[in-house]
Amino acid sequence: MDLEFLELTDRQVRFIISETTPAFVNSMRRSMIADVESMSIDEVNFYNNTSVLFDEMLALRLGLLPLTGGGNYVPASSCSCNGEGCFQCQVSLTLNVKGPVTVYSRDLASSDPEVIPADGDIPIIKLFKDQELMLEAIARKGSAKDHTKFQSAIAASYKHLPKFSVKDCNGCKECVEACPKQIIKDEGGVVRLTDELQCTLCSLCVEACESGALSVTGDPHSFVFYAESDGSMSCKYLLTASVESMSKRANELANFVETFA
């Protein structure tokens, strides 16, 4: 298996993975979406709300705020407090504001400086004159298998790496005109694909080639993988954690099978 990173930032990652199978790449995608645990607001206690939104609507907005940190916490379901709530499985974030003001995610005060909104400029609500909002939000750890609000990978996809070949071209240039991405060029009578990463394998160029000289197929063992984080964790950690989860489940399956061998 070979890896070639094309882009790696905290929010985005794109790489070419070769010498593997669609099953493995899809498993990595699914693990990145569903298995990686993160912190999210799971419960909200309202003490005063005279805003224009109901408590339930505000709680929904707060639950969708991506939170950083949480590596030292455990899910409430596996905590020694038996779900009652303690410093090992939950974090308290408080909010006490009075209008007129626009309330942003940065206005939430966390009991743990490591667990804060990933983006402080997310608007929560606009309070008008004399309107007040006082609440306590409880953040817990979970995965997207529990609820989609715990999903840190807001995008995870892959596609086959295109294989472009030309044989006995008559120079009609119909494929050049047909390409919607405009990535097929005729350079000195030679037709070539200028950017294979932009190719979507739509086959419009193949259909336009009356001579049948053009062939565009997907490499069955090479893929372009793309993922994007909501900011709660870096893409490097997201990728590493997803692979570790796959390895753990594979070992559990191997041990299970071995007991019956």
- The topology (CATH level 3) of 2-34+154-226 is Gyrase A; domain 2 (3.30.1360)
In the chain, what are the domain boundaries? 2-34+154-226, 38-150
What phi and psi values does residue 84 have, to the nearest 5 degrees?
Answer: -80, -20
pLDDT (tens digit per residue) in 201-249: 898 988 888 878 888 899 999 999 999 999 999 999 999 999 999 999 9
Q: Quick one: pLDDT at residue 208?
A: 87
pLDDT in tens, 54-77: 999 999 999 999 999 988 999 988
Q: Supply the pLDDT for residue 112.
A: 95
Least confident of 28-42, 145-159, 247-261: 247-261
Q: Mean pLDDT throughout 145-151?
A: 93
CA distance to 42, 62, 88, 104, 127, per residue, from 95 (Å): 15, 11, 22, 10, 13
What pTM did the predictor assign? 0.86
pLDDT at 74: 93
| Superfamily classification of domain 38-150 | DNA-directed RNA polymerase, insert domain (2.170.120.12)
> Residue 261 pLDDT more than 80?
no
Conformational region of residue 174, where left means phi above 0, alpha means psi within -120 to 50, and beta covers everything else: alpha
Task: Say whether pLDDT at 50 is over 90.
Answer: yes
Check if 2-34+154-226 and 38-150 are the same fold: no
Averaged pLDDT for residues 10-21: 95
pLDDT of residue 105: 97
For 160-193, write each residue's pLDDT tens digit.
999 888 888 887 888 888 899 898 888 877 888 8
Residue 229 has a pLDDT of: 96
CA 245, CA 31: separation in Å to the nearest integer? 7
How much is the pLDDT for 232?
Answer: 95
Q: How high is the pLDDT of residue 59?
A: 97
Query: Is the distance from CB of 127 to CB of 101 less than 8 angstroms?
Result: yes
Average pLDDT, the chain: 92
- The answer, yes or no, to whether residue 27 has pLDDT greater than 70, is yes
Task: Give residue-wise pLDDT tens across range 84-126.
Answer: 889 999 999 999 999 999 999 999 999 999 999 999 999 999 9
d(CA 187, CA 102): 56
